[in-house]
Amino acid sequence: MSKKRQPIFTIASILLTLVAVVIFLLGTMVEPFNAYWIPMFAGGLVLLISAWGVYYFGERSAKPTQEEEKEKVITVIGCKNCDVREERAFAEGDYVRKEIGPCKKCSGTSVIKAIYAVSLKKE
C-alpha cells in the first residue's frame, strides 16, 4: 500500500506560517516597523489564513485518491510457453494480450492474460 502524501502543501503552509511569524516579530519588536504594525499584522494574518487554507485544501485534494483505492485493479501476466502466472498492480497502458517481455522462467514471451478489479471494502 502506498500512502500518497502531498508534502508540497505541508511545506508551503509551514513556510507561510514562518513568514507570518517573522512579520509579527518585525512589526512588534523592530523599531522602524513599529509605525506599520497594523498593516503588517493584517498581512501576517492573511498569510496565516492562507497557510491554513493551503494545508486544508491540500489535505482535501489528497483524499479522493485514497477513496479510489477501495478498488484495486490487478493485472495478470502469463507466459505463452510455460505456466508461469504473476499478478501485479495495474499500470497505465496495460491491456489484455499486451506483450510484457521475456518470461523469467523460460525466456518465452510474457503477455497480459487478464485485468480485473478487486473491491477492498470491508463489509
Size of the site for Zn ion (CB under 5 A): 8
Cβ distance to Zn ion smaller for residue 62 or 100: 100
Q: One symbol per residue from 60 to 99: x for binding Zn ion (CB under 5 A), - otherwise; what is it?
A: -------------------x-xx-x---------------
Cβ distance to Zn ion smaller for residue 48 or 103: 103
DSSP-based three-state secondary structure for 6: coil
First-to-final CA distance of the chain:
20
- How far, CA to CA in Å, does 102 sit from each of 73, 77, 113? 23, 11, 15
Site for Zn ion in 93-122 (CB under 5 A): 103, 105-106, 108
Minimum separation from the CB atom of position 118 to Zn ion (A): 25
| Whole-angstrom distance, CA of residue 100 vs CA of residue 112 | 7
- Residue indicated by cell numbers 491540500: 58
Dig out the grid coordinates for 90 from the structure. Answer: 495495474
Chain contacts with Zn ion (rule: CB under 5 A): 79, 81-82, 84, 103, 105-106, 108
